[in-house]
Structure 1
Amino acid sequence: MTTTTKKKAHLLGFIQHGVNSHATGMWRHVKDKIGWDFARPEYWQHMARTMERGMFDAMFIADELAPYNTHEDSSDAIVKWAVQCPTHEPSTIVPIITAATRHLGVGVTLSTAFEHPYSMCRRLSSLDHLSGGRVAWNIVSSYSKSEWDAYGHTMTERSGRYDRLEEYMEVCYQLWDSWEPDAIIADKVSGIYADPAKIKVVHHEGKYYKCHGRHFCAPSPQGRPVLWQAGSSNQGRDFAAKHAEAIFAVHPNVDRMKQYASDLNERLAGKFDRKPGSVKLIYGLQTVVAETRAEAQEKYARIKECIPPEGALAWMSGHFGLDFSKFDGDAIVQNIEVPGIQGLFESIIYAKGGAPVTVKEAAMIYAQGMGMPVAVGTAKDIADQMEHYMDDGGADGFMLAATYTPGCFEEFADLVVPELQRRGRFRTQYTGATLRENLLED
């Protein structure tokens, strides 16, 4: 395979709209947010410009609707150790990010559990207009008990949530597609702005949702936001294969990546008549880069030193819906069944290549970055590892999990991006006008 035919990586910066993201304890790191306040626009503008300088496809904003309360039946440890807490509402920073950039997209995680499809469509269409077509929606249905408790609902079964989610998407598609391209006339002489005959009134009477009305927004630049999914269970993978344009997955090694890519492509072609490879597979990766390997290892050690053990255990409990404080620290996680996110739990099970992982080890591994692989070394070392995951694991790109911010993204943009470009594995300019055009390009 020649350099010109090798796939180019897609990059996304994986963060939350909060004091801490996916590496627990980073708020106390000596390099974290020096001179920046996460609650102020200037921080997000700088983060966005840094990622655009690094020619990332998008900033990807994860979310959780309430502090986890599984650990010891309380959210005390989550609050105490700043485990993704406090966290602000993710869509509020989209206009700040896109106003500070020309090309960078924004993927925003929004739950369908407690919001009607009508308002969801209106919000996403509005953001797509304001950004000039640079918005993606990470579709989630709320998996943690704390979210359902906070909104005053009883948590539904996983299978039922996917049934609701399918109907939710059906309503969204009807709304987004309800305006014909030439519906707007805007004739100042007659005073007619739009032709009602070309704007469908959606009449939906389903098992879970009712909707009778026209979409309140004219078609946005992308028509629909880019649809993103992180399905990992059997039902989740089917949903992702049916609806997603890009998929985020966490796998600890190339073998698991390869299996996932093969499985998704089989579902695309076999179940949903979609072309294999037509959905971008973006794998989680955390990087620690320096000029020398020794310096990178020292930086990685300092990152791990910031992780609070109780906070790590509380986060793992919240994500997997099981109070791990009730287990002995030396208990083997492979022997434990969890009700929460199955695919991410596999990232723990296979974290040591299938060898036994204790609860204590699992918590610290997960708190570093959700069990995703960590690339530590020089820019060349990290580029080597990324190429391995692309060429042998089926990755189309990477969701780069934050450590200390904005430094981790500044370092990646300054050191790793030029190395990838030198190898012909990364863009040297943006070619599309919208996020969809940039993200889905080969």
Structure 2
Amino acid sequence: MSKQNNKKKAHLLGFMQNGFNSHATGMWRHPRDKVNWDYGRPEYWQHIAKVLERGLFDAIFIADQLAPYATYKGSSDHSVRYAVQFPCNEPSTIVPVIATVTDKLGIGVTLSTAFEHPYSMCRRLSSLDYQSGGRIAWNIVSSFSHGEWNAYGVDGRERQDRYERLEEYMELCYKLWGSWDEGAVIADKSSGIYGDPSKIHEVDHDGTYFKCKARHFVPPSPQNHPVLWQAGSSNRGRDFAAKHAEAIFAVLPTLARMKEYSQDLAQRTTERFKRPAGSVKKIFGLQTVVGESRAEAEEKFAHIRDCIPLEGALAWISGHFGLDFSRYALDENVANIEVPGIQGLFESIVYAKDGAPVTVKEAALIYAQGMGMPVAVGTAKDIVDQMEVYLDEGGADGFMLITTFTPGCYEEFVDWVVPELQRRGRYRDRYAGSTLRENLLQY
């Protein structure tokens, strides 16, 4: 085998929301964003999906939140005014839209465990995975924002037992997904017997948080259950990911943070939970801006930053971190502020300048640009140079590519950057199989 073929290859995923504006706040103002496209129509999503499949991406990954952010100044007004991930459609509705025009592309959906029973969650995910031919991933989240709790009319205080509840949730999901034995379906027309009741087991779960007495309503999908995805970055979140996840999405702003995270997750996976090394694919967030020259790319990046409204940016970090940042001076050091929500992502902006102080204003604008992800700006060669460092030194197994203007940012990446990755032996030239799990395990 050649030295080139021994190089670690990258997995690639596209990171979006099923909404008007995804994670680059204000990007809807960009003159190249959604030109002649309606985000709510199937054609928009089908076009993006076909672009990603042409680029041999593992999946499109659909993020979500369940209600408008409403923490900044105690209202969702600024989320509405500046289209801060508003409006946003339910993520799983676009799965059949995408699956019908693609053959290999995986579809990751973010679905919250907070307000849905495991029985209906398993039924929905099994149905989607079955219908797509085994191309679904479930990004497992529990809801965190004031707006979400208020929308569902429940106590918005953080549950101290959140992870205990989540562990039982997964326990019941595994029972349901594992309840159909091989040979359970007979489907004999002459006898009229469809299924063998002794091989389709009734799940009888009586736990602290959930009760369920029923048979799983959907036969096993080609993957048996969707690929399990997680974005845990706090101490408890890392444990949950090391125990359950097949892949993890992490936002790590610097190479040093990538190294620390990779080493820590590997240790938890193998030592604490006794899973084989490499069981969890580490997919790190990355924002890319590619140009035919570095100067052109820098100019494009400056235009992207110019689209960000400061109050919209403050509304987003307030909603994401559960703290009203209007209470703080714009020049205050964010490292001195304690936030109740998503600790790991908050660290992505605390360390965004590699240890130098970050003000509230800087934090808001950095986060609104792309969730605190590192940015690769330049030619295709420049971008792949940076990706190689993250693969070889940072421990990345691949990248979650956050959008800027759509669908152009993905078209440019697939046309310019993917060929450069392939030339360097850093990327596949074909899919390994038909299911997402097969492609995720390809290397």
TM-score higher than 0.5 here?
A: yes
Matched, 1:16 2:17: yes
Which position in structure 1 is the counterpart of 2:304? 303
1:93 partner amino acid: I
Deviation string, structure 1 residues 125-151 (Cα, Å, up to 9, x no partner): 000011000000000011111111100
- The structural deviation recorded for 1:368 is 0.5
- The structural deviation recorded for 1:158 is 4.7
Deviation string, structure 1 residues 151-187 (Cα, Å, up to 9, x no partner): 0111353541111100000000000000001100011
- The structural deviation recorded for 1:409 is 0.3
SS at the partner of 2:295?
A: helix
Which position in structure 2 is the counterpart of 1:213? 214
Deviation string, structure 1 residues 257-303 (Cα, Å, up to 9, x no partner): 01000000000111110122221000000000010000000000000
Which position in structure 2 is the counterpart of 1:89? 90
Q: Distance in 2 between matches of 1:254 and 1:428?
A: 28
Matched, 1:5 2:11: no
SS at the partner of 1:213?
A: strand
Q: Distance in 2 between matches of 1:100 and 1:132?
A: 13
Alignment coverage as a number of residue pairs: 442
Which position in structure 1 is the counterpart of 2:165? 164
SS at the partner of 2:140?
A: strand
Q: Distance in 2 between matches of 1:20 and 1:374?
A: 19
Which position in structure 1 is the counterpart of 2:75? 74
Which position in structure 2 is the counterpart of 1:365? 366
Which position in structure 2 is the counterpart of 1:417? 418
Which position in structure 2 is the counterpart of 1:374? 375
Q: Distance in 2 between matches of 1:297 and 1:137?
A: 35
Contact 2:144 2:158 in 1 (8 A): no
- The structural deviation recorded for 1:440 is 1.9
Matched, 1:356 2:357: yes
Which position in structure 2 is the counterpart of 1:405? 406
Matched, 1:185 2:186: yes
Which position in structure 2 is the counterpart of 1:114? 115
Which position in structure 1 is the counterpart of 2:104? 103
Q: Distance in 2 between matches of 1:7 and 1:184?
A: 42
Matched, 1:26 2:37: no
Q: Distance in 1 between matches of 2:25 and 2:182?
A: 47
- The structural deviation recorded for 1:432 is 1.1
SS at the partner of 2:97?
A: helix
Q: Distance in 2 between matches of 1:347 and 1:140?
A: 19
Which position in structure 1 is the counterpart of 2:266? 265
1:292 partner amino acid: S
SS at the partner of 2:283?
A: strand
Which position in structure 2 is the counterpart of 1:239? 240
SS at the partner of 2:393?
A: helix
- The structural deviation recorded for 1:2 is 2.3
- The structural deviation recorded for 1:3 is 1.5
Matched, 1:280 2:308: no
Which position in structure 1 is the counterpart of 2:395? 394
Q: Distance in 1 between matches of 2:376 and 2:159?
A: 34
SS at the partner of 1:273?
A: coil
Which position in structure 2 is the counterpart of 1:439? 440
Residue identity over aligned pairs, in percent, reads 71
Deviation string, structure 1 residues 395-419 (Cα, Å, up to 9, x no partner): 0000000010000000000000000
Q: Distance in 1 between matches of 2:4 and 2:340?
A: 44
Matched, 1:196 2:192: no
- The structural deviation recorded for 1:339 is 0.5
Q: Distance in 2 between matches of 1:121 and 1:156?
A: 27
RMSD between aligned residues:
0.8
1:387 partner amino acid: E
Q: Distance in 2 between matches of 1:176 and 1:67?
A: 32
Question: For residues 289-368 of structure 1, what are the structure 2 equivalents within 5 Å?
Answer: 289-368=290-369
Q: Distance in 2 between matches of 1:392 and 1:341?
A: 26
Matched, 1:141 2:147: no
1:216 partner amino acid: F
Q: Distance in 2 between matches of 1:30 and 1:368?
A: 17
SS at the partner of 1:185?
A: strand
SS at the partner of 1:139?
A: strand
- The structural deviation recorded for 1:44 is 0.5
1:434 partner amino acid: T
Q: Distance in 2 between matches of 1:155 and 1:436?
A: 36
2:387 partner amino acid: M
Which runs of no fewer than 5 residues in structure 2 stay unpaired? none
Q: Distance in 2 between matches of 1:389 and 1:158?
A: 35
Q: Distance in 2 between matches of 1:98 and 1:377?
A: 33
Contact 2:13 2:400 in 1 (8 A): yes
Question: For residues 39-58 of structure 1, what are the structure 2 equivalents within 5 Å?
Answer: 39-58=40-59
